[in-house]
Chain A
Amino acid sequence: MDAIKVRGLSKKFKDVLAVDHISFDVEKGELFGLLGPNGAGKTTTINMLSTLIRPGSGEAYVMGFDILKQRDHVRKSIGVVFQEPALDGRLTGRENLEFHAMMYSMNKVERMSRIKEVLELVELSDKAGKKVETYSGGMKRRLEMARGLMHRPEILFLDEPTIGLDSQTRRHIWDYIKKLNSDTGITMMLTTHYMEEADFLCSRTLIIDYGKIVALDTPSNLKNILGGDVVDIEITDSCDTFIPELKKIEWIKTIKEHDCRLSLTMNSGEKRIPQLVSLAQRHKINIASINLHKPSLDDVFIHFTGKTIRKQES
């Protein structure tokens, strides 16, 4: 049985189709990523899977439970770390965890030991007695992750787990997420609009745009679709003589040309650059610049949607 099974799930807000007939499966123990720009439908998908909103159409199963008909079973099997902190600032860290434990009807003995455990896991034991409103952004995130794990859910949803955090804290949170996934074997599904986050963390990544699935595979397979490294060459003149020469070389997979800027794809680009330079010299062509570009999920996104994530956000 898959941890999550989604079939033709859709959700409409007024006239906007936020999620448009998506279908996918998440295996148990997977660290599954939903990648897409803001407004792509990631949070809506998580909200539907965590029973916070009802789907417009389609069906989905979380640990085998129907998200419409078995909401309480779904709720019991999941933990959620929301995009905006969902903590009570007037309560202490420990009290927030206690509230959660009681909502999930854990008895007192279990509660005490589990709170101690999760606090240690996220290294907040010494701050547990302080009011949450005094916590930093990173501490709040960690507390929320601790809370999401309290009742030993089988799936943990993380909605934009590092949004609004500085790069150092982000790195820290990434390590926690990776460690949690490998130590406990818990299935994780996270949303993000940071390419490097999906790249670093996820075993498989689903790229979503305008509510539709654009691609779904492991980050490395997704990058392979692009055909390897990209070498950008800028030449000052006589592009017309250079291109036919390049076309004769069998290890160059594709050639794109735009105003004497050439974009070539190939494997192990760093080893090919010297050969390209000597080829140019033989034909008396001046190279203005060479740039080697290892593909990122950014390029994958551009490849599939024809635009960068950044552009879409602004």
Chain B
Amino acid sequence: MRRNLMVIYVMWLRDMKRFVRAPSRIIGSLVIPFLLLISLGLGFGKTAIPGLSGSTGYLGFLVPGMAAMTILFTGMFSGLSVLWDRQYGFLKEIMVAPVSRVSIVIGRIVSGATTGVIQTYLLIFISILIGFRLPPILPLFVSLIFMILMAFIFTSIGLIFASRMKDEQGFGLIMNFIVFPLLFLSGAFVPLNNFPLWVKIISYANPMTYGVEGLRHSLLGFSMISLPVCLTVMGSIAVLLIIIGAYFFETSEVV
């Protein structure tokens, strides 16, 4: 057990060092969501959008959505680090070590989640600059749980694909193919109730929806789906995906 924790820690430590040493990556990942907050959030800020409660403007509504989007992107694309490791040979150094494959996967998921959460909090704090009102500490803490769950889920998905793929371009293509439907059909941009029924059905099958709704509830105090439902759905999917991710990693070819 201690051995496995050490592996998780050292995998995490390495990624954190790499993360801190590449500030351009941190800034780069925040540019798009921040631009969206400015153009959509401020642009539609004064428009009355059906389905929004009175006190929250569109900017407030959009911040949890963009926070979720940041986690979605960082999580999914953390699979790239596996591809880089494969390309630069470091994956062999990891795989030849006498450690359990599950702890390697968990180490990667934890570090992917950490970067995702840090970037998301950065985004939330930056959005204060353009008028977002920060919730009190306790809701902010609840939002952390959702961020972690979301990060676990999307990092796992990214790792599962990365374990079976060899080239970066292919990985990028497939990720985009998955990321955008997850994003646009999640209620990150517009209230779910505004969708026609058939879109709503798809949205309810989308794990991202429960993450966005959970974040929204914790940050704004309201959501279409209740908090316990969001928590249960996200929690079960996260556990399931970690198990699947460990299996895919265990059986993946290193060379």
Contact = CB atoms under 8 A, between A and B. Distances in A.
A253 B90 CA distance: 53
A95 B10 CA distance: 11
Nearest to A88: B90
A163 to B, nearest CB: 13
Interface in B90-118: 90-99
Contacts of A80: 92, 96
A52 B252 CA distance: 10
Interface stretch (B13-21, B198-206, B235-243): B13-21
B221 interface: no
B255 A99 contact: no
A90 B18 CA distance: 6
Contact of A102 (B10, B17, B93): B10
Interface in B239-255: 253-255
Contacts of A105: 3, 6
B92 A102 contact: no
B89 interface: yes
B15 to A, nearest CB: 10
A103 B7 contact: yes
Contacts, number: 70
Contacts of B255: 47, 52-53
Contacts of A87: 88-90, 93
B253 A53 contact: yes
B92 A103 contact: no
B92 A95 contact: no
Contacts of B14: 88, 91, 95, 99
A84 interface: yes
A147 B94 CA distance: 12
A217 interface: no
B100 to A, nearest CB: 8
A51 B99 CA distance: 12
A72 B7 CA distance: 14
B97 A103 contact: yes
Q: How many B residues touch the partner, as a band? A: 20 to 34
Interface string A40-59: 00000001001111000000
A221 B9 CA distance: 51
A52 B92 contact: yes
Contact of B10 (A50, A53, A85, A99): A99
B6 A51 contact: no
B17 A53 contact: no
Interface in A19-78: 47, 50-53, 72-73, 75-76, 78
A200 interface: no
A227 interface: no
Given A53-B253, A90-B18, A103 B89 contact: no
B133 to A, nearest CB: 38
Contacts of A76: 98
A295 interface: no
Nearest to B4: A105
Given A47-B255, A53-B255, A103 B17 contact: no
A85 B88 CA distance: 7
Contact of A52 (B6, B90, B95): B95
A100 interface: yes
A49 B151 CA distance: 37
Contact of A103 (B10, B22, B254): B10
23 contacts: A52-B96, A52-B254, A72-B98, A75-B97, A76-B98, A78-B96, A84-B89, A85-B89, A86-B88, A86-B89, A87-B90, A88-B14, A91-B14, A91-B18, A95-B14, A95-B17, A99-B10, A103-B10, A103-B94, A103-B99, A104-B97, A105-B3, A105-B6
Q: Which 9 A-B pairs have the closest CB atoms?
A: A75-B98, A86-B89, A102-B10, A103-B97, A86-B93, A76-B98, A72-B98, A84-B89, A86-B92
